[in-house]
């Protein structure tokens, strides 16, 4: 029986991971910040925990409920976009902190905690973005979000080195997906994005550790 852990699964891509893994009969533990988010997770037959990665106490709340448990697949999905800027509009300190504390510091709080919860042959993914790629950069729109996902990719690379031999760790671009963040005009429905990422995760080999992948398994430049 597989055992999946999802961080940030109240809606959008995270909740769709819960839905699809549960539809396959997989045991899922998933986190949300709100009562409504937890209810949506529980309605899919998953265990819901309350975790807010943007605060130290909120991220530490993950520890005791999963004490002694091991997961085959672990996904850090929590993320915010922040200001929808074009060009070089300097963010306020509050905007900078909100985005960086969730997308980067949140991952740096949660991922080290997961070291003790890796089942043999575990796979770990962060949901990053192609917008964080420096090699593929063709626009400066949303530069705070881009900087946060570039930093998240750096964090994932370090995690892949620290967890080498224990887990295969990758960064994902989920595609441009129709969610609250992606908007109604995005390319992909959430089911297609998540089905692609699940297929890619299932096919990962140890040599893929530390890689950056599109939802459909194509490697991406950092």
Interacting residues with ligand NAP (CB under 6 A): 8-14, 32-34, 37, 51-54, 77-80, 102, 106, 127, 129, 173-174, 176-177, 179-182, 186
- 34's tokens: 């709100």
Query: In angstroms, what is the minimal distance from the CB of 145 to ligand NAP?
Result: 7
Query: In angstroms, what is the minimal distance from the CB of 109 to ligand NAP?
Result: 10
What is the rounded distance in angstroms from the CA atom of residue 124 to the CA atom of residue 138?
28
Percentages helix, strand, coil for the chain (3-state, rounded to 5) are 40, 20, 35
Query: In angstroms, what is the minimal distance from the CB of 215 to ligand NAP?
Result: 9
Query: In angstroms, what is the minimal distance from the CB of 155 to ligand NAP?
Result: 13
Place of tokens 């300190």: 93
Instruction: Between 120 and 180, name the residue whose CB sits nearer to ligand NAP.
Output: 180
Instruction: Between 119 and 186, name the residue whose CB sits nearer to ligand NAP.
Output: 186
Instruction: Between 79 and 117, name the residue whose CB sits nearer to ligand NAP.
Output: 79
Instruction: Between 34 and 86, name the residue whose CB sits nearer to ligand NAP.
Output: 34
Query: In angstroms, what is the minimal distance from the CB of 165 to ligand NAP?
Result: 27
Instruction: Between 118 and 220, name the residue whose CB sits nearer to ligand NAP.
Output: 220
Query: What does residue 117 show for φ and ψ, rounded to 5 degrees?
Result: -125, 25
Helix 143-162 vs helix 106-113: angle between axes, to the nearest 10 degrees? Answer: 20
Query: In angstroms, what is the minimal distance from the CB of 34 to ligand NAP?
Result: 5
Instruction: Between 95 and 166, name the residue whose CB sits nearer to ligand NAP.
Output: 95
**36-66: burial string, b at 16+ Cβ within 10 Å, e else:** ebbebbeebebebbebbbbeeebbebbeeeb
Alpha helices, H only, the chain: 12-23, 35-43, 56-60, 93-100, 106-113, 143-162, 190-203
């Amino acid at each position: 029986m597989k055992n999946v852990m999802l961080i940030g699964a109240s809606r959008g891509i995270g909740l769709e991971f819960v839905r699809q893994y549960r539809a396959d009969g997989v045991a899922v533990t998933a986190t949300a910040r709100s009562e409504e988010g937890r209810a949506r997770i529980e309605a899919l037959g998953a265990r819901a925990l309350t975790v807010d990665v943007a605060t130290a106490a909120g991220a530490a709340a993950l520890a005791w409920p999963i004490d002694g448990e091991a997961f085959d697949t672990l996904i850090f999905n929590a993320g915010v976009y922040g200001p929808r800027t074009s060009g070089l509009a300097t963010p306020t300190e509050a905007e900078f902190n909100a985005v960086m504390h969730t997308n980067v510091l949140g991952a740096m709080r949660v991922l080290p905690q997961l070291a003790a919860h890796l089942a043999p042959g575990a796979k770990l993914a962060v949901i990053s973005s192609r917008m964080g790629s420096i090699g593929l950069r063709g626009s400066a729109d949303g530069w705070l979000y881009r900087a946060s996902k570039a930093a998240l990719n750096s964090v994932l690379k370090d995690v892949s080195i620290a967890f080498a031999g224990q887990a295969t760790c990758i960064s994902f671009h989920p595609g441009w997906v129709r969610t609250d963040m992606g908007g109604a005009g995005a390319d992909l429905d959430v089911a297609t994005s998540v089905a692609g990422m699940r297929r890619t995760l299932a096919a990962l080999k140890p040599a893929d550790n530390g890689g950056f992948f599109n939802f459909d398994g194509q490697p991406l430049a950092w």
